Amino acid sequence: MPVPRGKKTHPLMNRDASFSVSELIVKLLG
């Protein structure tokens, strides 16, 4: 997943959502 400017880019909202889901999973596992 190439992220040139991080996960706060508007054109990468789809990937941003994926990262959000990952964070939620990490929090649940944590």
Q: Using a cut of 0.75, tell me whether the model's pTM lies above it.
A: no
Alpha carbons 18 and 20: distance in angstroms, whole number: 5
Give the pair of three-digit tokens for residue 14.
């789809």
How many C-beta neighbours within 10 Å does residue 1 have?
Answer: 7
Give the pair of three-digit tokens for residue 13.
């909202």
How much is the pLDDT for 15?
63
Q: What is the pLDDT of residues 17-27, one digit of tens each?
A: 677 888 888 88
Q: What percent of the chain has pLDDT over 70?
A: 43
